[in-house]
Amino acid sequence: MTMNRQITLASRPVGAPTPDNFKLVETAVPTPERGQVLVKALYLSLDPYMRGRMSDAKSYAPSVKIGEVMTGGAVGRVIDSRHPGFKEGDIVEGRIGWQDYGLVEGGMLRKVDPDVAPISTALGVLGMPGLTAYFGLFEIGKPRPGETLVVSAASGAVGAVVCQLGKMAGARVVGIAGGPDKCAYVKDELGVDAVIDYKAEKDLAKALAAACPDGIDVYFDNVGGPVTDAIANLFNLRARMIVCGLISHYNMPDGYVGPSILRSVLTNRVLIQGMIVFDWHDRWPAGIAQLGKFVKAGKLKYKEDVTEGLENAPATFIGMLEGRNFGKTIIKIAE
């Protein structure tokens, strides 16, 4: 009998998650009921938002309960289908969770076309992170040619797409990343105009001012915390700040916010707009199609940080929250 390995939430973290917050269990592989599809996971996505799911604080999505399988998107192969839209062998993306086999309602699955790009990209540049970048930047940030766009976590799954879309839109793009490797990638591969290594800079505010001599028009924020504070002082009139992620906050027992944001919001009439990619759910196919064209044409690069083995998911996730990943964090579960 084939067993299904699952990683469940054993306890809620206080501050940074630790390995004993997770538990590996084995159960029988389930059988689909009408409308359901049994998917064998191939690639599991790990994303910062998952830290939120481990907490029982109110958020835009329900928490994972203690003992439940950790939530997560994955790309997999259909093993058994009782939904008319899917057949055995189809490659699909959906919320399979941190496990080898997931039962998913057919209506919640998305078919992945392996001819466009490697199927793992359905978790990154052609998936939620890519869409987050695409809609967040163009629906909220609306950069114009010549404007200055600053992107935090610029080498990350979302940030790397933002950097490139920003360049396509004619903006002057300044990336912020941690460490020389990521910074070189952002500068040389993604082609931004300037990059700031927030780990190396003694005075982040000064470095930002030097990198943004005309101020900041659009800030795509994936991190929050002190980086965001430094940004806020450089906002131009009618600057747009996309509050997309707050990774520097996620591990703090209480929230954190800097000293000067609201002053700048007031004097510069800054628009701060929180966003979740589901807000544009009806337009995902159009977004994917557009992004796919960019990838096919070689205009849109992506980087994946693939770790093999479901059992390595917890450690990889912890490392990602500490910034040890480089590119879209992916767990490769099976060939």
Site for a second copy, rule CB under 8 A: 58-60, 224, 228, 243-246, 249, 254-276, 279
Would you say 295 and 302 are in contact if contact means Cβ atoms under 8 Å apart? yes
Question: 140, 2, 183: which is closest to 79 by C-alpha?
Answer: 2
Closest distance to a second copy from the beta carbon of 60 (Å)? 5
User: Distance between CA atoms of 200 and 9, rounded to whole angstroms?
Assistant: 35
Q: Which residues have a Cβ under 8 Å from the Cβ of 177 and sit 6 or more positions away? A: 153, 154, 155, 159, 183, 185, 186, 195, 196, 197, 198
Task: Give least dist CB 240 to a second copy, A.
Answer: 10
For a second copy, the closer CB: 56 or 113: 56
State the minimum distance, in angstroms, from the CB of residue 157 to a second copy.
17
Q: How many CB atoms lie within 10 A of CB 256?
A: 13
CA torsion through residues 53, 54, 59, 65, sign: positive
Amino acid in the structure at residue 70? M
Beta strands in the chain (DSSP E): 3-9, 22-28, 36-45, 74-81, 91-94, 101-105, 110-111, 148-151, 172-177, 194-197, 216-221, 235-243, 271-274, 304-308, 328-332
Neighbour tally for 277: CB within 10 Å: 20
**Hey, how many other C-beta atoms are within 10 angstroms of the C-beta on 259?**
10
- Given the complex with a second copy, which of 20 and 214 has the nearer CB atom? 214
Q: Which is nearer to a second copy, 97 or 225 (CB)?
A: 225
Q: Measured from the CB atom, is 84 or 253 closer to a second copy? A: 253
Q: Which is nearer to a second copy, 62 or 85 (CB)?
A: 62
Nearer to a second copy, 54 or 310 (CB): 54
Phi, psi of 121 (to 5 degrees): -65, -15
Q: Which residue, 184 or 265, has its beta carbon nearer to a second copy? A: 265
